[in-house]
Amino acid sequence: MVITLKLALRNIFRNSRRTWLTVGLIACGLATLMFTDAMVKGISQAMVQIATGTFLGEAQVHRTGFRENNDVDLFLPDTEELLQSLRELPTVKVAAPRILAGAMLASAQNVAGAMVYGIDPGAEAALGKIKQAMVQGEYLSGLLETEILLGDQLADLLEVEMGDRVVVTVSQSNGGELAQELFRVSGIFRFNDRMLDQNLAFINLSSGQRMLAIDNGVHEIALGFTQQKNTIFPWQQFNHDQLETLSWRELIPQLSGVLNMSDISALIVAGILFVLVSLGLINSMFMSIYERQYEFGVLLALGTRRSQLFCQILWEGFFLGILSALAGVVLGGGLSYWKAVTGIDYGNLEMSGVTLQEPIYLVLSWQQFTLMPLIIIVMTVTACIYPALHAARLVPTDAMRKTL
């Protein structure tokens, strides 16, 4: 055993250039794998944060059936008790009640359709980024019945500026009577998301409830959790035939699908990398074995068992794997850490309806530093099985044709 280890260790440094090239190949493969995984995690996290943190929330409560066609009649009446019980949950950071209705907005110059949200300014400020998205004017104060916030593209469409008048027309609940109210533009926001900036307008919750004639009813309660991951929300406690509580995965299934696809893509990339690196390694090991064929013949002639020769080649693979894993962790970990700190700017790239407004910060995980190097070592040893079998099956007389 000791002599087998000694031979394996010394043999891998016999042709140090080839060894370091092989180590480089495997290390680059591992580094790519670590970087890709960190990037996929970073993009996923950013997309979820952007999607949920902008306005959506991490979960929403609706009257059952409301989401199918945004029917204003399907509101949650008397939500004080519900809001109270939601806010008392330790997993819930904020619960923001909303009304929403499809509306016609008319200015002195133009007319446009939009989705009008009646919101609780305090709760929304804690939940999303409407307040941070303000580019002109002020966020809703909650004090003035006539204040309205418009997306900058909607404001352009209506050709309005701060203080201009906008008439909002909605269809009321219980009969669909049209209701109109005059608002004054108190602020303009920009989420850097075309869909939001062109189609949303925010008014105070009480104004919306009055316009839609739904008293204290709300259409939606958006929830922000204390932590994004691993939140166990007691869905069963709230869901019944009149109420549905949905997580962001169900609210934006296309994003959830993309994230699942990202995980699968990362696995496919990993698989391809493993195959390529394994082929390179097998090639390198075969070159090394062919060069030493004569020597293996001598070892067999001296009484070395085939199993010992087989193990020697596997140990060589193991040491190569250890070296490669160390180099890969340093390279991949270093690169990933660098981009985890500085981020990668995607310049407002839109993916699956989510605009990546801020740099993507790579996410490091313990698997990248433990599981992946371990997989690389196992892969290296596995890739050496075929060359090792070849060496172990050598016939001494064939291997040493020169003399004995």
Binding region for another protein (CB under 8 A)? 2-3, 6-7, 10-11, 14, 294-295, 298-306, 308, 396-397, 400, 402-404
Q: How far is the CB of 311 from another protein (least distance, A)?
A: 13
We find the least distance from the C-beta atom of residue 284 to another protein, in angstroms, to be 18
* Beta-bridge partners for 125: none
| Minimum distance of another protein from residue 395's CB (angstroms) | 8
CB-wise, 130 or 285, nearer to another protein? 285
Q: Reduce the DSSP state of residue 184 to 3 states and report it.
A: strand
Task: Report the residue number, 218 or 323, with the smaller CB distance to another protein.
Answer: 323
Helices (H), ranges, 97-231: 121-127, 152-158, 194-199, 205-212
Smallest distance, Å, CB 289 to another protein? 15
- Token duo for residue 261: 């696809």
Q: How many CB atoms lie within 10 A of CB 387?
A: 24
State how far the alpha carbon of 183 is from the alpha carbons of 113, 120, 124, 146, 161, in Å.
Answer: 15, 17, 20, 4, 12
Closer of 299 and 356 to another protein (Cβ): 299
Nearest residue (CB) to another protein, 370 versus 397: 397
Cα(3)–Cα(24) distance, rounded to whole angstroms? 27
Residue 173 or 304 having the CB closest to another protein: 304
Q: Which is nearer to another protein, 251 or 400 (CB)?
A: 400
Which two three-digit tokens encode residue 340? 């985890």
Closest distance of CB 306 from another protein, Å? 6
Phi, psi for 22 (deg, rounded to 5): -65, -45
Smallest Cα–Cα separation from 144: which of 182, 93, 90?
A: 182
CB of 3 to another protein, least distance (A): 4
Radius of gyration of the chain from its Cα atoms, rounded to whole angstroms? 32
> Min. distance of Cβ 404 from another protein in angstroms?
5
Closer Cβ to another protein, 11 or 355, answer by number: 11
CA distances from 283 to 12, 20, 279, 306 (A): 15, 14, 6, 21
